[in-house]
């Protein structure tokens, strides 16, 4: 929000209805690769390093992997071409230059078998890049029959446009990734959903409900409804892994917020410190009240020393004016929380009188965003969920 | 990774902003009343505002600046006849905030609209202070409303009602000003449009539908079958846009709000048609307010959830 005062807010609501604003200011900013960050810090906690300090690595080389006994296998690849400078318990440092990006291709190889796609996804370290970071190969391996592969390009979070840019610039490659995913799970139908949608409509369950009319069971997963949902960039990464042999070593990140001097969409190597982005994108630390990774609705506050991971869709620098204050006032039962709730839950009523329908809540935060009393409703809803769960 | 605790941005709205919008929307009605009745009206408004705000300051200093006391005070003033003494305005304000709001636990906890509650109590206790004229009818109760002009058998014309030339409350000085403010509030989505729309539609429908009672046919036949008189006359518009829509005392769910508005319309029209009480808008608001917990229970489809469950024994 460039000016989140209440006059602006009420005029916007009068004109467009009560909703979380889109703030897609970087919609037309083409993807730009950042210059080499010089050093990356790759998170490797729980993984076995496969390299030694001082070793020279090519970009894309496997440098750490899960022990074989691990249920969900993870892989970490060098995102720079250079030298391993340190190996710690939970991270590996590499100093070097950006590896070359292979020329783009598309088209699904005729011969590839479902098992080969899954194996490639595992070895390339592919994860859910919408923020979930769940290993892609596990999703592709589940025995439940999948009818539809849904590629989520909605990113309803305010500010985020990286998936939109990927779809605009690499549509064929994303389609190829979709087809590979369909082949891996034996789905007949594949859809890339990229319509403009207001928060929290891009949420997995809501996307399935609103696009396919299918209901995901309350405590189930999309696969229980016969649907596989993948983020756009996960699909692109699947394409790159299978067709180009390129593991997950970079991703497109939206950098935006009022404290950002050069907002836009940047291709960033995994492991890049946010401080690098602060320099490249001219984020003013003096103006920044909160730096966060992910969108402003579901994202988490971050430090400049944190790194970009596979699930980091955005780096947002919010000014003090944009931040939500937490001086709660008494609830005046205005009902706006129910109005914006994607499940029409009477939120304010539920937090005072817990009821089992509260378990429907996906904690999207739209209610807390709109609440004029500024009640921390997500906290309250979690408490209500605990109370209700204790009943069973 | 730190634990997610909800969105980091906010719409920027506050309770105070909601109250400010209501105050702004009440301004046309306030200006019209002062222009129409002059200094006396201004004095009444100031006394009522002083009553609510000073009470708020004493009872809940922390929230004294959120504007809710001013909304209550202004609404109470608009329910006063211009002939009312200044101390009635002040006393009403004190009662509205003290008994109508803080006795229930403060902002957001009251079951009844504070201004309406205060007015009904004071009318029962000090009826003499509310009379428009010195003429006391056989009914014993005369309210500050043109709808009360039954003894004369003369119908107030629409033009009379719109120009406020009939004796009435401050809020009835210019029905169009009330309507304009209400429409502004509804278009800003500060109030739920369903409540005024349903309420006014139900009032019009009932005006056409309800069979005449002997009382009305004998005393004020012009009240029958005339929806516009019922919508513009009395406290109907003020109730529709500013009092029934008070979210604290309205149901939570949209369906509930529609039911609530119908109950209020039914109560008001039954009072106007079949009781000696000529306006009934304020009483109808209280009756509808009283139904809110029940409406909520049914419309939120939560059933009777156990609120406390005994822990399992060892």
Q: What is the pLDDT of residues A102-152, one digit of tens each?
A: 877 777 777 789 999 999 999 999 999 998 899 999 999 988 899 999 999
Phi, psi of A316 (to 5 degrees): -115, 130
Domain encompassing residue B217: 15-298
ipTM above threshold 0.90: no
pLDDT one digit per residue (tens) for chain B, 314 residues: 345 578 988 888 889 989 999 999 999 999 999 999 999 999 999 999 999 999 999 999 988 999 999 999 999 999 999 889 999 999 999 999 999 999 999 999 999 999 999 999 999 999 888 765 433 333 334 444 556 554 445 567 777 778 777 778 899 889 999 999 999 999 999 999 999 999 999 999 999 998 877 767 766 666 777 888 889 888 999 999 999 999 999 999 999 999 999 999 999 999 988 887 778 899 999 999 999 999 998 888 665 444 444 444 33
Assign domain A40-97 to its CATH architecture: Beta Barrel (2.40)
In a domain, B7, yes or no: no
Residue B3: per-residue pLDDT: 53
Per the structure, how many domains does chain B have? 1
In a domain, B150, yes or no: yes
Nearest residue in A to B250, CA atom? A333
Mean pLDDT taken over chain A: 91
Residue B276: per-residue pLDDT: 78
User: How close does chain B come to A387, measured CA to CA in Å?
Assistant: 9
Q: Is A357 on the interface with B (CB under 8 A)?
A: yes
Q: Do A330 and B63 touch (CB under 8 A)?
A: yes
Q: Do B252 and A335 touch (CB under 8 A)?
A: yes
pLDDT band at A12 (very low <50, low <70, confident <90, very high): confident
Task: Determine the CATH number of domain A114-244.
Answer: 3.40.50.11540
Q: Do B17 and A378 touch (CB under 8 A)?
A: no
In a domain, B256, yes or no: yes
Q: Do B9 and A369 touch (CB under 8 A)?
A: yes
- Token pair listed for B137: 């009818």
Q: Do A333 and B248 touch (CB under 8 A)?
A: yes
Q: Is A376 on the interface with B (CB under 8 A)?
A: yes
In a domain, B3, yes or no: no
Flag whether pLDDT at A235 surpasses 50. Answer: yes
Say which DSSP state B216 is in: H
Q: Do B252 and A318 touch (CB under 8 A)?
A: no
In a domain, B245, yes or no: yes
Q: Do A322 and B305 touch (CB under 8 A)?
A: no
The pTM for the full model equals: 0.87
User: How close does chain B come to A324, measured CA to CA in Å?
Assistant: 5
Flag the least confident range among A75-79, A303-307, B184-188, B297-301: B297-301
User: How close does chain B come to A333, measured CA to CA in Å?
Assistant: 5
In a domain, B272, yes or no: yes
* CATH number, position B51: 1.10.3430
Q: Do A333 and B106 touch (CB under 8 A)?
A: no
Residue A324: per-residue pLDDT: 67
Phi, psi of B159 (to 5 degrees): -65, -40
What is the tens place of the pLDDT at every residue in A260-278? 999 999 999 999 999 999 9
Which residue in B3, B11, B293, B312 has the most chain A C-beta atoms within 10 A of its own C-beta, making it the best mutation to test that interface? B11
Q: Is A346 on the interface with B (CB under 8 A)?
A: yes
**Which A positions 286-325 lie with beta carbon below 8 A of chain B?**
290, 292, 296-301, 318, 322-325
Structural domain boundaries of chain A? 40-97, 114-244, 336-391
Of B5, B10, B252, the CB nearest to A374: B10
Q: Which residues of B touch A325 (CB under 8 A)?
A: 10
Say which DSSP state B169 is in: B
Residues facing residue A135 across a β-bridge:
A127
Nearest residue in A to B306, CA atom? A355
Residue A6: per-residue pLDDT: 63
- B39-46: list long-range contacts, CB under 8 Å, 24+ apart: B40/B82, B41/B82, B41/B170, B41/B173, B43/B86, B43/B89, B44/B77, B44/B80, B44/B82, B44/B84, B44/B86, B44/B89, B44/B170, B45/B73, B45/B74, B45/B77, B45/B89, B45/B170
Residue A181: per-residue pLDDT: 95
Q: How far apart are CA A167 and CA B286, in angstroms?
A: 57
């Amino acid at each position: 929000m460039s000016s989140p005062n209440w006059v602006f807010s009420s005029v916007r609501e009068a004109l467009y209805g009560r909703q979380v604003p889109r703030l897609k200011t970087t919609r037309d900013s083409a993807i730009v690769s950042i210059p080499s960050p010089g050093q990356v810090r790759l998170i490797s906690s729980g993984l076995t390093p496969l390299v030694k300090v001082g070793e020279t690595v090519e970009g894309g080389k496997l440098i750490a992997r899960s022990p074989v006994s691990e249920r969900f296998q993870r892989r970490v690849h060098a995102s720079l071409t250079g030298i391993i400078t340190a190996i710690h318990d939970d991270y590996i440092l590499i100093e070097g230059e950006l590896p070359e990006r292979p020329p783009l291709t598309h088209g699904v190889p005729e011969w590839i078998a479902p098992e080969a796609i899954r194996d490639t996804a595992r070895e390339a370290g592919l994860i859910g890049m919408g923020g979930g970071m769940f290993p892609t190969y596990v999703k592709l391996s589940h025995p439940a029959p999948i009818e539809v592969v849904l590629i989520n390009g909605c990113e309803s979070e305010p500010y985020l446009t990286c998936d939109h840019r990927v779809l605009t610039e690499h549509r064929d490659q994303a389609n190829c990734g979709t087809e590979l995913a369909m082949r891996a799970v034996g789905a007949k139908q594949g859809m890339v959903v990229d319509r403009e949608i207001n928060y929290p409509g891009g949420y997995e369950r809501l996307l399935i409900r609103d696009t396919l009319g299918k209901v995901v069971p309350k405590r189930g997963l999309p696969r229980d409804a016969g649907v596989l949902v993948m983020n756009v960039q996960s699909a692109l990464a699947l394409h790159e892994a299978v067709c180009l042999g390129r593991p997950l070593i970079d991703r497109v990140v939206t950098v935006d917020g009022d404290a950002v001097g050069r907002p836009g969409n940047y291709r960033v190597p995994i492991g890049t410190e946010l401080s690098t982005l602060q320099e490249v994108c001219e984020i003013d630390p003096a103006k920044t009240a909160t730096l966060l990774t992910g969108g402003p609705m579901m994202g988490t506050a971050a430090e400049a020393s944190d790194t970009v991971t596979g699930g980091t869709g955005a780096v947002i620098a919010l000014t003090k004016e944009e931040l939500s204050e937490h001086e709660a006032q008494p609830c005046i039962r205005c009902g706006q929380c129910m109005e914006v709730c994607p499940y029409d839950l009477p939120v304010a009523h539920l937090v005072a009188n817990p009821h089992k329908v509260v378990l429907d809540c996906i904690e999207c935060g739209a209610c807390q965003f709109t609440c004029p009393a500024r009640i921390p409703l997500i906290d309250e809803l979690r408490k209500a969920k605990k109370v209700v769960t204790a009943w069973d | 990774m730190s634990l997610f605790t909800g969105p980091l941005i906010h719409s920027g709205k506050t309770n105070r902003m909601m109250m400010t919008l209501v105050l702004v929307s009440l301004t046309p009605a306030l200006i019209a009343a002062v222009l129409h009745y002059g200094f006396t009206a201004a004095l009444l408004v100031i006394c009522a505002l002083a009553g609510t705000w000073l009470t708020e300051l004493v009872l809940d200093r922390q929230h004294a600046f959120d504007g809710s006391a001013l909304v209550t005070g202004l609404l109470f003033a608009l329910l006063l006849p211009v002939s009312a003494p200044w101390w009635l305005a002040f006393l009403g304000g004190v009662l509205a905030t003290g008994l109508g709001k803080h006795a229930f636990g403060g902002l957001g906890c009251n079951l009844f609209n504070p201004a309406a509650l205060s007015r009904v109590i004071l009318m029962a206790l000090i009826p003499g202070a509310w009379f428009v004229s010195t003429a006391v009818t056989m009914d014993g109760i005369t309210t500050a409303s043109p709808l009360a002009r039954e003894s004369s058998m003369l119908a107030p014309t629409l033009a009379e009602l719109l120009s406020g030339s009939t004796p009435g409350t401050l809020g009835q000085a210019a029905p169009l000003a009330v309507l304009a403010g209400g429409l502004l509030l509804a278009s800003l989505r500060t109030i739920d449009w369903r409540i005024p729309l349903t309420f006014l539609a139900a009032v019009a429908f009932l005006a056409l539908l309800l069979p005449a009672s002997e009382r009305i046919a004998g005393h004020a036949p012009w009240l029958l079958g005339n929806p516009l008189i019922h919508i513009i006359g009395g406290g109907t518009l003020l109730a529709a846009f500013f009092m029934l829509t008070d979210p604290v005392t309205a149901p939570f769910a949209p369906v509930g709000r529609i039911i609530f508005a119908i109950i209020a319309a039914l109560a008001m029209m039954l009072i106007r048609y079949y009781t000696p009480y000529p306006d009934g808008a304020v009483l109808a608001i209280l009756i509808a307010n009283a139904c809110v917990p029940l409406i909520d229970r049914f419309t939120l489809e939560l059933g009777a959830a156990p609120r406390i469950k005994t822990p399992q024994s060892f």
